[in-house]
Each structure stands twice: as structure tokens, then as C-alpha cells.
Amino acid sequence: VYKRQQLFAEHSLSRLSAWIKDGRLTVDGAVIRPRDIVHGGAILELSAEQEAQGEWVAQDIELDIVYEDDDILVINKPAGLVVHPAAGHADGTLLNALLHHVPDIINVPRCGIVHRLDKDTTGLMVVAKTIQAQTQLVTQLQSRSVSRIYECIVIGVVVAGGKINAPIGRHGQQRQRMAVMEGGKQAVSHYRVLERFRSHTHVRVKLETGRTHQIRVHTLHAGHCIAGDTKYGDEDFSKEIRDLGGKRLFLHAYMLTVPLPDGGELKLQAPVDEMWAKTVERLSAAP
């Protein structure tokens, strides 16, 4: 497994370890264990085929595709679209749509989904179409070479930009939620003010790490929960936003930058949707 970068670079360490434990890797014709030492000159043979990851159904669900090539595709996810099937959402998800658009993606772990956006979060998501692309994207996300920038509207007037460095872990009592806590995983967010309104602020956030619900937890920790975030602070929707017709979560993945194999980078932006734009316009016009 240690030498997989040179021998089987298209597969992740965890996948190779599982195949070794299943006896699919032989050394000079003999099955080995993960801890066995391999000497130079040995012949390694890997007998493994990527298997379909689940019994999911392809569904013809419209996708707003911002970019696509042979290896990846980037979508602008709408509000309300669940990313992966789960309890209460057996189908009608992004994964079901991907299976219809790229049938062979069934052979890629999690159908190429390497990061997620919450159901009501909008914006850019990158998906791997091949195992090689998936391995590379996971590595890039772990090394933080993929840049993700979000926009959000928070309750309250934010005075200035700054940095939030606060560890995040699973909430002790409410397991569906995350929280800032001692002993949690490191989480760092950088933010700056785009526009201030009477009782709200339009903010841009750059993630240095990518923890579950990181922006939602960090903004709440800073005393400015995201408008429409009924799980993290805005239980009844802020009255001003609700009166303007904006009963939704105001969190949008605005920009995505992905390194390319040739040394360049893919830099994409996705504008906010019509409801968001109208809400900002009305907030700006409010006395």
C-alpha cells in the first residue's frame, strides 16, 4: 500500500487496503497481508474490478452544468436538491440525476461525489466522473488546494471582516447538529463584508477547512447566524427577510477553484438565484 502512488496511483489507500484484505493482491503468486513486507523485484498482481456502489436509480432530473470534461463536471446546485440518498430521500437526489447524465459513474465510489452542499444551500459542486479523478479530487480537498468561496446573508450588522478559528464537532445532545467545541476538528473560515443593510449583512466567506456545516456553525458562533437557517439560530426566519418573501437559507457556494494536472487551474463562479438577488435589492432599498 505504501508504494501505491507509483504502482496504482488511480486508487486510494483505503480502497487498496480493502482489496489486500480480500486477498485480491498477490506477490509472486501468493496472497499477502497488509503488514507483510514486499521485497524488490517481486511481481505484484492486482485482481480487482470496481463494483457498483449501490442500487440507486437513474432519474432524468435537470442539472445546471457549469463545466464538464472527460474527468469532472461542476454543477450549480439549486435550493431544495438533496445531494445523496438517505432516510427520507430515497430518490430525487443529485446522485440520481448524475446516474442519468453519466451512467458509468455508478462504478465510481459515491458516484463521484467528493463533497456536499446541504439541501437548501445553493451553488457550485464538483463531481468526479472517473476513479482517477475522484482520487485526485479527494487528495486536493484534503491538502486544501481546492478553493471554495461562499456568500451568505447574516442577521445583524457585521462591523468588519476577519477570521474565525474555532474547532467543530458533533453536538452533544442534538446529533443532527454540529457545534464549536473543545476537542473538535480544526475549522478556519475567513470572511469579509460585501454590503451592510439595516439589520442584515451580505458577507463573503472563504473556507480554509471543510467541516460539516462549517459556515453555519461559525457564523452562529460569531453572533450572526445565516438568514433562514432554522437549524442554527434563525428558528422562525428573520421577520424582515420573511416579509420580503425570502423564506430560504441564504448560503451560496459562489466560487470554486480546482488545480489542473497541467499546472493550471479551473476557476468558476455561479451567480445567486433570482430570489436571492431580489431579496438583496429590497434590503438595499429598505429605509
Summarised one tens digit per residue, pLDDT across range 171-191 is 877 878 999 999 999 999 999
Amino acid occupying residue 64: D
Tell whether 182 and 242 lie within a shared domain. Answer: yes
- Whole domain around residue 99: which residue ranges? 56-143
Q: pLDDT band for position 3 (50/70/90)?
A: very low
Tell whether 169 and 237 lie within a shared domain. Answer: yes
Q: In what order do the strands lie in the sheet with 25-27?
A: 30-31, 25-27, 44-46
Tell whether 201 and 168 lie within a shared domain. Answer: yes
Q: pLDDT band for position 110 (50/70/90)?
A: confident
Tell whether 153 and 280 lie within a shared domain. Answer: yes
What is the dihedral angle through the alpha carbons of 202, 179, 119, 247, rounded to the nearest 10 degrees?
A: -50
What is the dihedral angle through the alpha carbons of 184, 190, 194, 197, rounded to the nearest 10 degrees?
A: 30
Structural domain contains residue 51: no
What CATH number is attached to the domain comprising 135?
A: 3.30.2350.10
Tell whether 220 and 269 lie within a shared domain. Answer: yes
Catalytic status, residue 71: no
Helix (H) or strand (E) segment spanning residue 21 = helix 13-21
Of 118, 120, 229, 234, which one is the catalytic site residue?
Answer: 118
Where does a domain end: 105, 120, 143? 143
Tell whether 154 and 28 lie within a shared domain. Answer: no
Burial class of residue 142 in the structure, from the number of CB atoms within 10 Å of its CB (0-12 exposed, 13-18 middle, 19+ buried) = exposed
Q: Across residues 194-216, what is the average pLDDT?
A: 94
Tell whether 160 and 210 lie within a shared domain. Answer: yes
Q: What is the pLDDT of residue 179?
A: 94
What are the pLDDT digits (tens) for 157-167?
Answer: 999 999 999 99
Structural domains counted in the chain: 3
User: Is pLDDT above 70 for 269?
Assistant: yes
Where does a domain end: 94, 113, 143? 143
Q: What is the pLDDT of residue 4?
A: 44
User: Is pLDDT above 90 for 248?
Assistant: no
Helix, strand, coil percent values for the chain (each to nearest 5): 25, 30, 50
Greater confidence (75 vs 246) lies with 75
Contact between residue 1 and residue 34 where contact means Cβ atoms under 8 Å apart = yes
pTM here is: 0.80
Write down the mean pLDDT value for the chain: 85
